[in-house]
A and B are shown apart, each in its own frame.
Chain A
């Protein structure tokens, strides 16, 4: 079969058909994967909440804090055990990371202490800033570990800036950003109370 000639009509019709077919098939695939994608996201969120909070048996309705300045709102997930509040998971964020946006799920127990955290999304340098998820949980290094502490009694700043938390070696910017996200969650939590 010889090649179609490049007349104006041929070109327009071809492009129209190619884009039309592509759009239709993508719409179909989108419909197919919409459910699983939402499920996967929800599952990741649920897993993070379970990891950062003390044991609970029921999750209350989530609510959003719209007052916090800085554009995006924080999302709160209160957790109950036998009907009593045991802690609140907060989905917080910072835009000050070495590569911009970082999203973190933090848990705050009823005494106002951080009960855990889980980094949800980040683009920090592998091998440096990406270590934050393990670094700030290291129970053998009390100056790195933030779990069980709260910004009221501990200065939530890196030691270089006069705070009480040791920054990740060679990743001060990531560490500052991390603490920024935690402070944002804590301040917003206090206001909600």
Chain B
């Protein structure tokens, strides 16, 4: 597989949200606005790239039976780094994502890529795989968050598009997340078919 394919598969073909359906909890939870989706997506992408790199480096010295706990510790360490850095330099974003950052540890996309890809491939491929999947995840979250924000609060990235009196509040609430996600998955399946 060429490196470009390795990178681009995360956007449509193996998109973690629309195709693999992994990491649904943060996906549905944080996407009440586009900016939250972007912040969460990029934080996850960073963790994915870093953990993929480290896992591919240490894959041969970790005994088979303790690989999962070792991977989780590595992932948790990077998540804590992201959390501390965000708290220090982006306090307002940290305020709106707060609860979901520690949950990246148990996001199955991250462990899934470590286990399915990074523990079997070399450093460069693993890093590119992490970046592709991470950006694909961000793309999905921004799309979902953007649609919900436009329909539910009449804004996109906090820029007002139409007055608040005409919004459908349902879309920023939890049911809206499921509805928008369902339609997006249908759309992606349609695109993939052609």
User: Could you list which residues of chain A lie within 8 angstroms of chain B, going by C-beta atoms?
Assistant: 1-7, 10-11, 14-15, 18-19, 22, 25-26, 29-30, 33, 36-37, 40-41, 44, 121, 123, 125-128, 170
Chain B residues closer than 8 Å to A170, beta-carbon distance:
169
Give the distance in Å from the alpha carbon of A123 to the alpha carbon of B60 in the complex: 44
With a cutoff of 8 Å between Cβ atoms, the chain A residues found around residue B189 in the complex are none
Main secondary structure of the interface of B (DSSP, over half): helix
Q: Please tell me which one of the listed residues B60, B80, B89, B169 contacts residue A127 in the complex, with CB atoms under 8 A apart.
A: B169
Of residues 79 through 106 on chain B, the ones whose CB sits less than 8 Å from some CB of chain A are 80-81, 84-85, 87-89, 91, 95, 99
Q: Which residues of A contact B32 (CB under 8 A)?
A: 126-127
Please classify the interface of chain A as helix (H, G, I), strand (E, B), loop, or mixed, using the class held by over half of its residues: helix
Q: How far is the CA of A126 from the CA of B76 in the complex (A)?
A: 29
Q: Which of B51-75 contact A (CB under 8 A)?
A: 58, 60-66, 69-70, 73-74
Chain A residue nearest to B81 in the complex (CB): A29
- Cα distance A126–B64 in the bound complex, in angstroms: 45
Bound complex: CA A68 to CA B7 (Å): 58
How many positions in chain B have a CB within 8 Å of any CB in the partner chain? 32
Flag whether B77 is at the interface (Cβ < 8 A).
yes
Chain B residues within 8 Å of A, Cβ to Cβ: 32-33, 58, 60-66, 69-70, 73-74, 76-77, 80-81, 84-85, 87-89, 91, 95, 99, 152-153, 167, 169, 172-173
Contact B87 A40 (CB under 8 A): yes
User: Distance (Å) between the CB of B183 and the closest chain A CB?
Assistant: 20
Tell me if A125 and B66 are in contact (CB < 8 A). Answer: no
A22 close to B87 (CB less than 8 A): no
* Other-chain residue from B65, B84, B95, B172 in contact with A30 (beta carbon distance below 8 A): B84
> What 8 pairs between A and B have smallest CB-CB spacing?
A36-B88, A22-B77, A6-B65, A6-B63, A127-B172, A33-B88, A126-B32, A40-B91
- Chain A residue, CB-CB nearest to B77: A22
Cβ A4 vs Cβ B80 within 8 A: no
Report the minimum CB–CB distance from A79 to chain B (whole Å). 23
Known: A18-B73, A25-B77, A121-B95. 15 other contacts (CB 8 A): A4-B60, A5-B63, A6-B63, A11-B63, A11-B66, A14-B61, A18-B62, A18-B70, A26-B77, A29-B84, A33-B88, A37-B88, A40-B87, A40-B88, A126-B33
Which residues of chain B are near A33, meaning CB under 8 Å?
A: 84-85, 87-88
